[in-house]
Amino acid sequence: MIQGEHRQTWAELYARSGQLANALAADGVGAQDHVAFLDKNGIEHFEVFFGAALLNAICVDVNWRLASPEVAYIVNDSEATVFVVGPDFVPLVEAIADQLTHVKRIVVIGSAGTSAVTSAGSDSRFDDYASWSSQFSTTDPGAVATAEDVAFQLYSSGTTGRPKGVMLTNSNFFGLLPLAKEMWELSPESVNLVAMPLFHIGGGGWAVAGMYEGATSVIMRELDPSVLVRMIGELGITHGFLVPVALQFMLMAPGVETMDFSSLQVLVYGASPISEEVLAKAVKVFGCKFWQAYGLTETTGAVVNLPPSDHDVNGLNRHRLRSCGVAGPGVELRIVDNDTMSDLSVGEVGEIWIRSQQVMKGYWNMPEETAKALTPDGWFKSGDAGYLDDHGYLFIHDRVKDMIVSGGENVYPAEVENVLMGHPAIADVAVIGVPHDKWGETAMAIVVRQAGVEVTEQEIIAYSRERLARFKCPTIVTWTDALPRNPTGKVLKKDLREPYWSGRERRVN
C-alpha cells in the first residue's frame, strides 16, 4: 500500500493486523462483535479492517461527513465496543463520548492520539493508536469464520429515514471478488487507485477487490482531482474506480490535456449518472478501457456492468451508454410491478429486483426492514425504477421513492434530467416533485448554469417540451450554485425537496 510517503508491504500489513487483532481481543472483542472506525482514507483503515477479520469480528466504517448525533447513532446502533478515530475527528468524538453506550475504548490515530488522551481527563477510555496496538504480538489469533459470517457492516446513506446497517458476509465478498480479474483485469502487477471513501462499498469494496488479486493500492486520503491527474503518471496507476463527478472535475484540472495517462488500463465508474459529453471526453483524454458499474451497498457493489465494447460514443450501439449494462456473472434481474408483484415485459418500467451471491444478509437489528427488502427466495428489492431492453441491458429511470405523480401520470426525474443535461447552458440539474394545487405534484428543475452562459426559465421549459411529453416537463425552474451530493456523488433529493414539503404529513400530494 502507498499513501503519500508511507509504504507498507503485505508482510507489514499482516503483522500490524495481527497486533490490532490481539489488541482488540484484549478489550473483549470476539467473533461477530463490532469495531467502529471513523477516519478519512488511510492505511490504518486496512489494519483495523483485517485485524477485526482475524478475530472474525466486524468492521463498521462510519461516514466521516456525518454530524456528531449521526455518528453517535451509528456507533451505538452497531453496539461497537472499540471505536478507532482519525486525528481530524477528535473534537467530534470528545463531544459525544458520554453518549456512546457500548464503547469501552476510544483509540486515536496519529499525533492527535497523545493530546486526546491528555485532554480527555477523567475519561480513561481514550488511547493512542500506536502505543495501544504496538504492545501486542503480531501472531495471527487463528479465528475461524464461516461463509455466512458478517465481514463488513456499512450504513446506508440515510437519504431517507434513519441509516440502516447493511450486513455483508464473507460469501457476499467472494461473489464480488472474482470480478476483479475476470472483468476489470486486476492482477499482482496492477497499481490500483483507492480514492473513493472507504465507508462506501465503492471505496472499501473496490480496494479489497484489488487486494484480492495482489495489486498495489494507492490510497488518497481525500480526492483532489488536480493532484490525482498528476499522481496517475507519477505512480503508474493502472486501475481505479471513480464517480462521474470526479471524472468531470479531473477533466477540468489545469493541464489535464498534456498529463501522462499512458499507464492507465481500466477505469470503472458508477454510483450516479454520467453525461455523454463527460464520458466522451474522458474516453479521449484518459485513453483506457471504461466499465460502468451499477450496484448498491446491499449488493456488495457491482451487479450490472457496461463493458468497454459499449463505450464507443460514435458507434451503432451508442444508445447503450444510457444504460448501466448487463447482469454480471451469477446475477439475476427482474423488473417488477409493485402493485401486482408480477414481472413486467421488455421496455416496461418497474422496480429492479436482484438475486445474487452478492446480496446482503440483511439489515442489522432491523428484521422488519430486512423483510421488506428481501423476499424469502432471495430477491432484493433495489428501490430503483428501470427497464430491460430486448438484449438484457438495464436502463435506470430513478429511485422508486423519487417518482413524481402529476395528474395521475408517473414522471421519473432521471429521464427529465437526462434531457435537460443536453441544454448547452446547463452544467448540472436535479428534478424534484413539488406540490401543485391542480395536478397534485409538478416537476421543478433546480439548475446549475454553465459559467458565463445566460438562460431563462421559459427557455428551459420550452427546451424540455420539445423533447418530452408535456406532463413530464418542469413547470418551474430555479437556480443554484451547486447541488448537494453525498460522498458517492448522488444528489440529495430529500434535502432539495424538504423546503417545499415542510409542514405536510406526507411527501406526496
Per-residue pLDDT of 215-230, as tens digits, reads: 999 999 999 999 999 9
CA-CA distances (angstroms) from residue 399 to 101, 272, 446?
35, 11, 18
Give the pLDDT of residue 158: 45
Contact indicator for 83, 105 with CB cutoff of 8 Å:
yes
Among 243, 244, 236, 200, smallest CA distance to 218 is for: 236
For the chain, which residues make up each domain, given as ranges?
2-145, 169-399, 403-501
CA-wise closest residue to 60 among 44, 47, 48, 68: 48
- DSSP for 234-248 reads HHT--EEEE-HHHHH
Q: Which fold has domain 2-145?
A: Rossmann fold (3.40.50)
Q: In sequence order, what are the residues at sequence separation of 6 or more whose Cβ sits closer than 8 angstroms to the Cβ of residue 300?
A: 168, 172, 173, 175, 176, 201, 205, 358, 359, 360
pTM of the model: 0.82
Q: How confident is the model at residue 399, as a pLDDT?
A: 66
169-399: CATH topology: Rossmann fold (3.40.50)
Within 13 Å and on the Cβ side, how many CA atoms surround 54? 24
pLDDT digits (tens, 9 = 90+) for 319-375: 888 899 999 999 999 999 988 999 999 999 999 999 999 999 999 999 999 999 999
Q: Please report the beta strands in 109-163, taking only residues with DSSP state E, as ranges in sequence order.
A: 126-128, 150-155
Distance, in Å, from the CA atom of 40 to the CA atom of 112, rounded to the nearest integer, reads 14
> Could you please report the per-residue DSSP string of 4-44?
TTEE--HHHHHHHHHHHHHHHHHTT--TT-EEEEE-SS-HH
Strand 440-449 relative to strand 476-479, pairing: parallel
| CATH 3.30.300.30 is held by the domain 403-501 | yes
Separation between Cα atoms, residue 286 and residue 275, nearest integer Å: 16
HSE value, Cβ hemisphere, 13 Å, CA-based, for 175:
24
Question: In the chain, which residues have pLDDT < 50?
Answer: 158-160
Fold: same for 2-145 and 169-399: yes
Q: Is 200 helix (H, G, I), strand (E, B) or coil?
A: coil
